[in-house]
Every structure is written in C-alpha cells, then in structure tokens.
Structure 1
Amino acid sequence: MRIYVRISRYIKPYSLAIISALVCTIFASAVNLYLPKIIGNVIDNVLATKDVATLNLIAVTVIVLIVLQGIFMYGQTYLMAYSSQKIIIDIRRDLYQHLQKLSMLFFEKRPIGTIMSYITNDVAALQTALVNNVIDFVNHSVTLVGSIILLLYIDWKLSLLMFVSFPLILYTVNVSGQKMRIKSRTLQERAADITAFLQETILAVRVIKSFSRESYELERFDYENKRNFQAQMKIIQVMAIITPIINILSTIGITAIIWFGGHEVINGNLTSGALISFLVYVINLPTPVKRLSNVYADIQRALAAAQRIFEVLDIEPEGKNLRGAKELSPVDGYVSFNNVSFEYKPGKPVLTNVSFEAKPGELIAVVGPSGAGKTTVVNLIPRFYNPTDGSIRIDNIDIDTITLQSLREQIGIVPQETILFSGTIYQNILYGNLDASQEDVIAAAKVANAHNFIMEMSNGYETTIGERGSQLSGGQRQRIAIARAVLKNPRILILDEATSALDTENEVLVQQALDRLMLGRTSFVIAHRLSTIQRANLIIVLEKGKIVESGDHDTLIKSGGLYSKLYRIEFKQ
C-alpha cells in the first residue's frame, strides 16, 4: 500500500485527465456489454415476429453505438497516454535529481550500469504499467462487473452455477500475482546486471581488444544473459499456468450452464434469446478474467520496479546541506584541516588526525605512497565526503555550515583523468561558467594554451569532440579541462597531477597552463612526480592516512625522511 500511496502522489496533478480517460473507458466498455443483449432481442422479438422495422432500427443503433465507442476509445487512449507519460517524466526527473544529490560513496559502491538501470529499465516497466495496464484494468473490470450484473438480471439460477468456479479463478489470479511480484524484482535486478556489464565492457573495449579477451567477455555475457533468461522464464512459467487453469474452471461452469439452461428452455422457464444472451456473456467472461490476470501480473512487475525506484529515492544524501546552512561569499582562500579523520567503512580509517593550514595564494602539495590517502584529503575540501571526525574551515568558516553549491562554486578541480562531455569544445569550456561570454571562453582557452590547436580544428570552437573527448589527444583534453577551470575563476584549486600521463611536449604546454591557472589562487596538488612541486609553499607527506612529514622541499630533503627517500628514488629513475 505504501507503494500505491507514493505513486498516487505523482498521479494527483493529472487526476482530471485520468478521470476523463476512465469515463471514456467505461462508456466504451458499456457498448460491448449491450451488444449481447441486442442479440437476444433480435432472436426473441424480431426473428420470431419477422418485424423488419425493428430489425432496421436495431441495425442503425448498432452502427451508432460502434461509432460512439470509437470516439470513446480514442479519448481513453490519448488521455491516459498523456497522463502516464507526464507521470513518468516527473518520476524520472525526481529520480535523476535525487541521484545528483547523493554522495560519491553511493556511486562508488554501485556499477554505473546498475544506476542507469534505475532510470531506464525500472522506469520503463513502470511506464508500461501506467500507460497500457490502467486502461485494460478499467476496461475489463467494467466488462467483468457489468457482465455479472446482466447475468444475474437475465437468470439468477444460471448465475449461481457460474459462481461455483469464479472464486477459484480469483484465488488463482491472486496467488500467481504474489509470485509474479517476487520474480519480477529478480528480473529487474538481472536486467540491471546486464546493463552494468555492457557499460563496463564497452568503456573498456580497448583493454579487451589489446588482451584478445573477446571470447572471455562473450562467455561472461552469456552467463549474465542466461541468468536473465532464467528469471524471465520463471515469470513466463507463472503466467503460462494461469491461462489453462482459468480455461478449465471456466469450461466446467459453461458446460453446467448449457446443460441446466437447455432444460430451462425446454420446460418453458427461459426464452431462447435469453439463453443465447446469457451464453454470450458467459463465454466472453473468461476473456476479461484472463486479461485482468495478465494486467495484475504486469502491475506486480511494475510494483517491483517502483519499489527499486523508491528505495533509491529514500536514500538520504550524505552531503546534504545542514539546517540553517549559509551561502559562502567570495573567499580569500585560507584553508585549514583540524584533526580530520575519515573512514569509508566503520573501523577502517583512511585518514587519522590530519591537520595543516594553507594561506591564500599558497601552493600545497600532497605526496605519499599509493593508498596513503592523498585523493581523500582533497576530496574532503569540496565535501564529496564528510569527515568522520574533526573539521575543515575556509576563511575560518566550518564548511559543514555552508551550502554545498556556494562552497563548490569557489573550488576548481582539474583531475588526472580528464572528463569531457560529448558536445563541442565551446560547450565544454563554457561548462565552467554558463554565463560567460564568447570572449571570456576564448580568453580562458588562451590561458590554457588551447586556443591555437582549437583554431586548427575543422570547426574551431564548434568542433564536436565525441564521447568523453575521444576525438582529442590526452594533452588537448587536459588543456580544455584547464580552460574550463580558468573560466570558473575559483579561489581554491585542486589539481590531481595533470601531466603524469603526457608526453614531454604536451607536459610542457599543460604545465605552463597550470602555472597560469594557479597564479594568485590557493592550490592543492596531488603530486605523482615530485620534481613538479619543488616550489610548493608546503609539502604534506602522507603514509597510511597520517601526516608523517610537512615543510618545503629543501627542509624535507635535509630531514632525510620519507619524502627524501621518495625523491631520491625518482631522481635515480
């Protein structure tokens, strides 16, 4: 019921259109209910008396009713489809908006394909239920209820024979529907697994081909496909058994009606037309029952999908604004860590009592062995994660008391793995400041040493760069990312060593661009090459999540500690 209630909140804004569609559905179904009654009247009143005038009137009436039914069917289809599509748009938007609010931990714990499946497969299952099944449910419910009422009206004794098997039919539908929901959730999960697998292998296609692992990946895909097939067949098995059971129970009831009704006509207690009408209603009765059972199964599948969607919507964002959080005005760039500790999993600390200060305009380098916690330190500044203990302050303001948007607007990030979007070069640079002018974009590109290579491309700034910037070289992608950061004009910069994977020529160009970008800004650099940070104002050396050394380059070299050891190893190489 909780799921129904939550879905109803999305339905409420479009209730007028839905009610109108349901009214059209009722009238369209009523026409089908009336036609067997007309057949009975023709047999009893027209054929027996050879009344041609009444026959002509009935023929005209049937044509008019069919035309009206067509109009009502158009109304039900259009209005319900319109309402359903709008509801799905609202659900999909809320889901996507909520995903944007969730912390980095949510995305790191789940495959990208699984997250995509929430918005694609799960929402699609819900969409099918809302668009098609609501109409079918009302249509066949009206037909079913109307047929039962008319059967009772024609002959209540014959109707009692029908009701012997009817409760068994309803019980079968109910039990199968419950099984359907459980198996449908499993199917949605298997579909999500396939989406996640495809996402992973398509992104890694270069690695797959370089290791000649096409056959291996095909075997893995066959395994996922087989699991999806098995989940699908379990649902089909449940659906397949419903129809013969309903047919058997219905046939028993119809046979009893024919036998008893034939005796009633012979004895003069029932007219031939009434028996024919009754039989038409009874013969047609299994159709809405079977269709309703299919609708019920589809609704169970939709509820399983809705349950997965609402489970995501119920996840509380870890990085949300605290009550009373304030906007952060433009800062000078003073940053301090005060006994900051952090752990991804309880009891497994990644950082322990990290403390340091960065003054406005200073360059802070974070170095250490792999897994020391370097990336975690810089990810805490824009609150991608929240510290387990301690506090981080900017201009002496605790960042927990600041709105996320105003905090992140003051911070620029240039990652080691450059992420670009599949639009044009101009759009990718403009992403740093959507209100910037064309002159601002070009100026940012020049600072980033990107303007010259951009102008050499086929369409200049309007050149489409492909998915993730696939049409550009590594150095070009990095310079576009730097231009994007320049356009944002942040007071605080976070740089994950952007030159480590570049050739010498591109490294020089990118390093020049970075030097310009860092000028006058408080900058944090994760250093993979120690030779690039010799001029840093403060070098923080991490080991196993703790600061083991800090100071400038000369001081750390003279101390002979971990930094000196790492530097000597790199120098020899």
Structure 2
Amino acid sequence: MNLYRRFFRYFESLKLKLFLGMLCLVLVSVANLIIPKLLENFIDLLTNSNVRDLNSLNLVVIGFLVLYFFKGIFHYGQVYLLAYVGQRVVLKLRMELYKHLQYLSLAFHQKMRVGELISRVTNDIQVVENSVTLALPGLIGQPIIVIGAVIMAFVIHWKLAAFTMTIIPFIAIAISKFGAKMRKTSGKIQSHMSDITTIVQENFSSIRIVKAFSREEDEIERFNDALCKNFSAGMKAVQIMATMTPVIELISAVGIVTIFWYGSREVIRGNLTTGQLVGFMTYMAILVTPLKLISRDLSLVHRALGALERIFEILDVKEFIREKENAVELPPIKGYVKFHHVSLRYQAEEEEVLKDICLEVKPGQVVAFVGESGAGKTSLVNLIPRFYDPTSGKITIDGYDIRDVTIDSLRQQIAIVPQETILFKGTIAYNIAYGKPDASMEEIVMAAKRANAHDFITKFSKGYETMVGERGQSLSGGQRQRIAIARAILADPRILILDEATSALDTASELLVQEALQEVMANRTTFVIAHRLSTIVNADLIVVLDKGRIVEMGTHKELLEKKGYYYRLYKAQQKNKGGI
C-alpha cells in the first residue's frame, strides 16, 4: 500500500475535526489574500488626486479591523483543531506500534536490539509528530495562498502575472531535487539515532560490567563514534536545507526585481495604478513566503516518510504465536504435561535445537533439565507457555494440545522464575501483584511471607509501598529473587518453571531462596533448569540433554548408578567443589 495512503488511514475517525480545522485554515488563507486588495484600495484612495472620499477611507480602515478580528478567531480554530488531529494521529500510531511489539513473538524480540525498538517508538514517532503538527497544515494552507495569490495577480494584470508564472517551475524543480536528497539523508539520521539509543540502553543496563572491566573509555569512544556519524548525517541535512532556501530565494528575488521593473513601466505608461502595483507586489511577496515554507515543510515530510518506513517495517512483521480461531479456554489443570516427538528450529535454514523430544511429566512432579550450555534446556521449557511453537510434534497439558487452547488461559496457569529477575519500576506490592493485579493487600503479604520476603520488606520505611526503581536495582539479588517467587506464589500456577533461579546468588541468599522455592513448588508440576546439580538431587526426574536430544533420564540415584553423561557432569562439579 502507498505510504501516504496507509498513513492517512489514521485520520479516518477524525474527519469532522480535520474538516473544521481545514475550513478555518482556508478562511485564514482567504483573509490573507484579501489584505493586499484592501491595501491596493487604500493606496489608490490616497494617490488619486481627484478623489478625497473620507467615507471610503473609513470603510477600508474598518474592513482591515474586521478582517483581522475574524482572522484571529479562525486562526485559533485552525491551530487548535489541526493540532488536536495531529496529536491524536500520533497517539494512535505510537499506541499501535507499542501494542504490536507487545504481541510479537519472543523470537522477534531476541533478534532485535532493544535500543533499535526504543528508537522507533520514540525518535521515529517524534519525527512523524513534527511533520503532522507543523508541516501538514502548511502543505495545505500554503498552496491555497499560492493559488489565490496567482489568481489575484492575474485579475490585476494578466501579462505581468503570466511572466511571473515562468519562475514557478524553476522553484518546483529545486524543491523536488532537494526533497529527494533530504529524504535519503533523513533515513540515515534515524538509523544513527537508533544506534545511539541502543548504545545508551546497553551501557546503562550493563554499567556494572563496564566498570568491572574498566571499559569506560572504550564505551565513551563507541558513543562518540555513533554521535559523530549522526552529526555528519545531521550536517548533511543542514547543508541541504541551508542550500535549498537561498537557491529558492535567489530564483524568487530575480523574478521579483524583474516584475517590479516591468510593473513600474506599466504604471508610468498608465496601464497600472500605483495601488495595483503595490497590491500585485504584495501578492508576489505573499507568494514567496509560502514557497519557502513549502520547501521547509516538504523537508519535514521527507524526514517523516523515512521514519514512517521504519515504523511500518515493524508493523508489517507478522512473527506472532498465532491462536486458532476456534481455540478453547484451558480449564483449571492438574499439571500433566507430555512432549510428543517434539522438535524445534528457530529459523528454517538453521539446525534443529531440539530433536524428537518425548517426555511425560505427571502432576506435582519436579523435573530437572541438565546439560551443557546450548544443550536446549531453555528452549525446551520455552515451549510450554508457547513462547515458541514446535517445528514438529506437539505438547499436551492434561490431554489438551496447547495449540488448541487460548494463549491467555494457558499462560495464566504457568509461572516463571527466571535467573535474571525482572522487576518493574513501581512499588514492591505492585511487582508482587504483577501476575494478579486484582490481588488484595492481605494476599500480597501472605505471598511475601511464604517467599521469605516479608521480613526484609517490612524493614523498609515504606514497607510494601517502597519504590524498587528501574529493574529493581535498589534491591539485592536475593531480595529481587524472593519478590519474583512471591509473584509466582500469588499467581498460584499449576505449572512452575524455574530457570536457574539460584545460580547468581551467594550461599546465604541461596538458602533463603531455596526455602521459598520449596514452598512455591509444593503440589505443582515444576520444571527446573539448574547448573548446580547439587540443587536438584531430590528432583522426581532428571532429564539430561545434549545437543538438543534427551540422552538420559532418571532420578539422581539412578543416573549416578548408570555412570553415564550425568555421572560425569556431577563428578566434575563435585571435584570443583560445586563448580558452576
């Protein structure tokens, strides 16, 4: 679909306000076109020695005052209504983009840079906003003035006006050439802004690592390189703008001087009055300003088109985990999970990361996945809440193929406690209740107590209303993890996924978290990913993965007796005193 047509679909629900705003814009433009005519009459009254009509003079003055009064009213309507339309369109576009990103698959988000996405939601939308609120009214109002001024010029003196029209094509060609260059340069500017946003986001979220490796100077240099590239692209845009305006002004100036020379000759010959010449020149002056503004507005539009291309590029991505049209609600489950010959590859051209997985997990069982990095542990558990769909095979829960049920009803019965606990900016209570927003304060406190979090929370001066800050950085790793466990407890899932939940904690914090985990795991089907094998010796079933395949299954005791893959992993960790 044409980029313009696609964008203007966002205006459809605002047609009335857009029409009224345009009407006010037209009336303001008409008022601007009447002013030179009044000025022409005013000068002719003064210069005509045969006429000394004070009533006519009074009428002209009153006409000026009335005209400016109504022009002011219409100007207010124009500015307010068109600004409202512009802001609403930008709001809808930004909301649609954000909503679309929320529902795109995990695979999409994992291959995209966070800073790139942030830039498209913020910087690119801002460019579009500037175009809608500044350029759009101008590109509608200025042509009206141009056309009106040309018509009035022909009415005054058609020969002089016809000569003037020979200049306009040169201006149009200049605008077209410079506009094409501006659009290309604007795309580069937006791309460089994405790089800058990405670098800032990565640096601030990883500042601890930066400092640990003393990479501050390198990060500064990386940021400076991105700024320099953006500066160069920005200066290229400035160069285009700085060249375009004087070129158009020069063409216009040559025309105006020539027009003034020819018009003066016509006045001397008696073919034109002084007032008419002043009126004609005023219309030409009016004509020059819109042409200059049109060139500026077109530059903004070309920048916006570059930004819109990047926005629609995201909106055109269809990487969804699709829900069937006849999907049913998954009823309350017991937690019986079965993998039926499941295989997975992320991209068609890539090797399978999971190969023919067959696994049966009974309600309430604790199943641990072990293996080296890249063995497929996380990929396997990500299939359960449908973050990905298997390439082949199927997964059933209580006999329901998870692709046949609604995604919400599936995920509402699953909770995840990840290795890197994610907390949102807000209160501790807000974060605990994230999976159950309608939870009462009593429920939140009870979940915190069961997660061994209540004691440290109440030590804060504001207790559960304490703000945790972005990503929960004001709390220790163990505290964040216990809040995440409280969140899982409050959600009351039937299936629990623990993704290396204690691997980053010190011994004291791990003991508290392990106690909390035992509480949340009780009577729930639990899938555990653990590097420290000592933490899963009591699991009902240990599944050993290697290169995407199940190579061993059994209890801790059974696997040690086999003296196979698991035995070697366990002994290696024992030798290294717990190892990983």
Matching residue of 2:118:
116
Which amino acid is 1:17 matched to?
K
Which amino acid is 2:265 matched to?
H
Q: State which of 223, 226, 229 in structure 2 corresponds to 1:224.
A: 226
**Which stretch of the first structure deviates more once superposed, 557-566 or 212-221?**
212-221
The alignment status of 1:145 with 2:147, answered yes or no, reads yes
Residue aligned with 2:416, SS = strand
The alignment status of 1:458 with 2:458, answered yes or no, reads no
Residue aligned with 2:497, SS = strand
1:347 Cα deviation after fit: 2.9
Question: Does the aligned pair in 1 maintain the 2:344–2:391 contact within 8 Å?
Answer: yes
Residue aligned with 2:343, SS = strand
Matching residue of 2:481:
478
Q: State which of 353, 358, 361 in structure 2 corresponds to 1:355.
A: 358
- Structure 2: unaligned runs, 5 residues or longer: none
**Which stretch of the first structure deviates more once superposed, 122-131 or 314-323?**
314-323
The alignment status of 1:405 with 2:381, answered yes or no, reads no
Matching residue of 1:556:
559
Question: Does the aligned pair in 1 maintain the 2:414–2:494 contact within 8 Å?
Answer: yes
Distance in 1 between the 2:61 and 2:211 partners? 71
Per-residue deviation, residues 476-527 of structure 1 (Å, max 9, x unmatched): 1111000000000000010012222222222111111101111111000001
**Which stretch of the first structure deviates more once superposed, 367-376 or 269-278?**
269-278
1:96 Cα deviation after fit: 0.9
Matching residue of 2:439:
436
1:129 Cα deviation after fit: 1.0
Which amino acid is 1:530 matched to?
L
1:106 Cα deviation after fit: 1.2
1:20 Cα deviation after fit: 0.9
Q: State which of 62, 65, 77 in structure 2 corresponds to 1:60.
A: 62
Residue aligned with 1:330, SS = coil
Which amino acid is 1:38 matched to?
L
1:234 Cα deviation after fit: 2.0
Q: State which of 266, 276, 279 in structure 2 corresponds to 1:277.
A: 279
Q: State which of 155, 158, 161 in structure 1 corresponds to 2:160.
A: 158
Question: Does the aligned pair in 2 maintain the 1:22–1:76 contact within 8 Å?
Answer: yes
Distance in 2 between the 1:27 and 1:292 partners? 19
1:33 Cα deviation after fit: 1.1
Question: Does the aligned pair in 2 maintain the 1:46–1:54 contact within 8 Å?
Answer: no
Distance in 2 between the 1:457 and 1:251 partners? 72
Question: Does the aligned pair in 2 maintain the 1:101–1:320 contact within 8 Å?
Answer: no
Matching residue of 2:30:
30
Map 1:413-432; keep pairs closer than 5 Å. 413-432=416-435
Residue aligned with 1:242, SS = helix
Q: State which of 324, 327, 337 in structure 2 corresponds to 1:325.
A: 327
Map 1:371-386; keep pairs closer than 5 Å. 371-386=374-389
Distance in 2 between the 1:192 and 1:285 partners? 39
Matching residue of 1:191:
193
Which amino acid is 1:389 matched to?
S
1:244 Cα deviation after fit: 2.1
Question: Does the aligned pair in 2 maintain the 1:341–1:354 contact within 8 Å?
Answer: yes
Per-residue deviation, residues 148-205 of structure 1 (Å, max 9, x unmatched): 1101111110011111111111122122222222221221111111111110111111
Question: Does the aligned pair in 2 maintain the 1:161–1:256 contact within 8 Å?
Answer: no
Which amino acid is 1:357 matched to?
E
Distance in 2 between the 1:140 and 1:226 partners? 36
**Which stretch of the first structure deviates more once superposed, 73-82 or 314-323?**
314-323
Question: Does the aligned pair in 1 maintain the 2:145–2:286 contact within 8 Å?
Answer: no
- Structure 1: unaligned runs, 5 residues or longer: none
Q: State which of 81, 85, 93 in structure 1 corresponds to 2:87.
A: 85
Matching residue of 1:135:
137
Question: Does the aligned pair in 1 maintain the 2:45–2:57 contact within 8 Å?
Answer: no
**Which stretch of the first structure deviates more once superposed, 494-503 or 46-55?**
46-55
Residue aligned with 1:412, SS = strand
Per-residue deviation, residues 90-138 of structure 1 (Å, max 9, x unmatched): 1111111111110111111111111111110111111111111122222
Question: Does the aligned pair in 1 maintain the 2:31–2:71 contact within 8 Å?
Answer: yes
Question: Does the aligned pair in 1 maintain the 2:341–2:392 contact within 8 Å?
Answer: yes
1:323 Cα deviation after fit: 2.6
Map 1:179-218; keep pairs closer than 5 Å. 179-218=181-220
Question: Does the aligned pair in 2 maintain the 1:46–1:52 contact within 8 Å?
Answer: no
1:569 Cα deviation after fit: 1.2
Distance in 2 between the 1:535 and 1:202 partners? 40
Which amino acid is 1:533 matched to?
I
TM-score, length basis structure 1: 0.98
% identical equivalent positions:
47
Distance in 2 between the 1:426 and 1:273 partners? 76
Distance in 1 between the 2:324 and 2:416 partners? 24
Question: Does the aligned pair in 2 maintain the 1:337–1:391 contact within 8 Å?
Answer: yes
Which amino acid is 1:254 matched to?
I
Per-residue deviation, residues 40-93 of structure 1 (Å, max 9, x unmatched): 112223432233332222122212211211111111111111121111111111
**Which stretch of the first structure deviates more once superposed, 335-344 or 420-429?**
335-344
Per-residue deviation, residues 398-447 of structure 1 (Å, max 9, x unmatched): 11112111111111100011111111111111112112211111111111
Per-residue deviation, residues 348-401 of structure 1 (Å, max 9, x unmatched): 221111111101110110000111111111111111111112211111211111
TM-score, length basis structure 2: 0.96
Per-residue deviation, residues 538-560 of structure 1 (Å, max 9, x unmatched): 11101111111111111110111
Which amino acid is 2:307 matched to?
A
Which amino acid is 2:447 matched to?
A
Distance in 2 between the 1:276 and 1:503 partners? 86
Question: Does the aligned pair in 2 maintain the 1:38–1:58 contact within 8 Å?
Answer: yes
Distance in 1 between the 2:111 and 2:277 partners? 66
Distance in 2 between the 1:61 and 1:258 partners? 27
Q: State which of 232, 250, 253 in structure 2 corresponds to 1:251.
A: 253
Equivalent residue pairs, number: 573
Which amino acid is 2:495 matched to?
I
Distance in 2 between the 1:266 and 1:105 partners? 79
Distance in 2 between the 1:255 and 1:181 partners? 33
Matching residue of 1:44:
44
Matching residue of 1:314:
316
Which amino acid is 1:358 matched to?
V
1:207 Cα deviation after fit: 1.8
Distance in 2 between the 1:431 and 1:194 partners? 31
Question: Does the aligned pair in 2 maintain the 1:332–1:491 contact within 8 Å?
Answer: yes
Distance in 2 between the 1:348 and 1:186 partners? 35
Matching residue of 1:301:
303
Distance in 2 between the 1:327 and 1:268 partners? 89
Question: Does the aligned pair in 1 maintain the 2:41–2:60 contact within 8 Å?
Answer: no
Which amino acid is 1:398 matched to?
D
Residue aligned with 1:348, SS = coil
Q: State which of 503, 520, 529 in structure 1 corresponds to 2:523.
A: 520
Residue aligned with 1:418, SS = coil
Distance in 1 between the 2:215 and 2:181 partners? 39
Distance in 2 between the 1:124 and 1:232 partners? 16
Q: CA RMSD in A?
A: 1.4
Question: Does the aligned pair in 1 maintain the 2:365–2:524 contact within 8 Å?
Answer: yes
Distance in 2 between the 1:50 and 1:215 partners? 80
The alignment status of 1:489 with 2:495, answered yes or no, reads no
